[in-house]
Structure 1
Amino acid sequence: MNTRRITMAIIATALVASLACNAAAAQGLGSLGGKLGGALGNSGSLSSGNMGNVAGILQYCVKNNYLGGASGASGIAGKLLGKTQGGSSNADYQSGLSGILKGKDGRTTNLANVGGGNSDLKSKITTKACGVVLNQGRSFLGH
């Protein structure tokens, strides 16, 4: 049942993002972030429930080029990992390294599978999710 809800949430998010992309094509890509922000930024499953998972997701985002070096994501991930019980062996951190975002609400989203096979859509959704998690990491550190 939980897997079905996750699948439906991902499909709904992909549909909303797809509609946003069509609108963005007409208006220019500059407004895409705002359109996707409404679809993704308010989703409980796109912000993590703990520091370890945030640290892992940030490393996933940097490794897969969704966040650049100038974002400071690697440094933030390192600081968060230092505050995480168990360090790099923490299960939530390890999940994050694989792109599995563990939400505050207990749901998980696998960033490696978003976008329904559309690589452009996947990139946009994952980049947005990485930005949300980066802001959450900064918040955890008081930045």
Structure 2
Amino acid sequence: MHRSLPAAALCAALLAAGGAAHANKYLDAMKEQLGSSGQADAGSASGGGAAALASGLGLSMPAMGNSTLGNAAGVIQYCVKNNYLSAASANSVKDRLLGMVTGQKPQQTGFANGAKGLLQGENGKSLNMKNLSSKLKEKACDYVLKNATSLL
């Protein structure tokens, strides 16, 4: 049985019974538990807490690598534009990624998709960030920034 279904049901029940504060406390506790139990996405070089949280809620974070540098740069731009990442900390990473992929058509396409909020992984998985809650978008943006930094 997949653990995310009971977790999602419990979170919905907490929202109905006690409001968002109770649900957020539960999500934070679940994030800590999943992060410490080693259930982070195997394709992640770092950012395990975000991947574990997303995985615990039924999401799978796409694996990032050299073939997805353009997409990562685009996602970082999306995250900065939508205030999920600080421009001061993220723009230098984005610019360095773009410097590594300038002129490569597949990377340019990846950047365009990323700038629209579509995270594409080397493993063929993708995640449309527009479909996520604000909290999960923030975690996904942190995941991308941490993993992109490790690829530089």
Give the Cα–Cα distance (whole angstroms) in 2 for the partners of residues 29 and 60 of structure 1.
28
Please state whether the residue corresponding to 1:101 is helix, strand or coil. strand
Runs of 5+ consecutive residues of structure 2 not aligned to the other structure: 35-48
SS in 2 for 1:86: coil
Q: C-alpha displacement at 1:84, in angstroms?
A: 1.0
For 1:63 and 1:136, the matched residues in 2 are separated by: 19
Larger CA Rg, structure 1 vs 2: 2
Q: What RMSD, in angstroms, separates the aligned Cα atoms of the two structures?
A: 3.6
Deviation at 1:66, TM superposition (A): 0.7
Aligned counterpart in structure 2 of residue 74 of structure 1, from 64, 71, 91 = 91
SS in 2 for 1:106: coil
2:110 matched to which residue of 1?
92
Match of 1:45 in 2: 61
Percent of residue pairs identical: 33
Cα distance, 1:48 vs structure 2: 3.1
Q: Deviations over 1:88-112 (max 9, x none)?
A: 9711111100000002220211101
Is the CA contact (8 Å cut-off) linking 1:45 and 1:102 kept in structure 2?
Answer: no
**CA 1:104–1:17: 2 relative to 1, 3 Å:** farther
User: Counterpart of 2:21?
Assistant: 25
Kindly state the Cα deviation for residue 47 of structure 1 after the two structures are TM-superposed: 4.1
The residue that corresponds to 1:5 in the other structure is: none
Residue 139 (structure 1) aligned to one of 124, 127, 150:
150
For residue 21 of structure 2, what is the amino acid of its counterpart? A
Deviations 1:26-47 (A, max 9, x none): 3748936536732326865344
Q: Hey, what does 2:141 align to over in structure 1? A: 130
Aligned residue runs from structure 1 range 100-119, under 5 A: 100-114=118-132
Q: Distance in 2 between matches of 1:60 and 1:105?
A: 21
Cα distance change, pair 59–29 in 1 and its aligned pair in 2 (3 A) = farther
Q: CA deviation at 1:17?
A: 6.2
Letter in 1 for 2:75: I
Native 8 Å contact 2:62 2:125 kept in 1? no
Q: CA separation of 1:109/1:100 partners in 2, compared to 1, >3 Å: closer, same or farther?
A: same
Secondary structure at 1:91 match in 2: helix
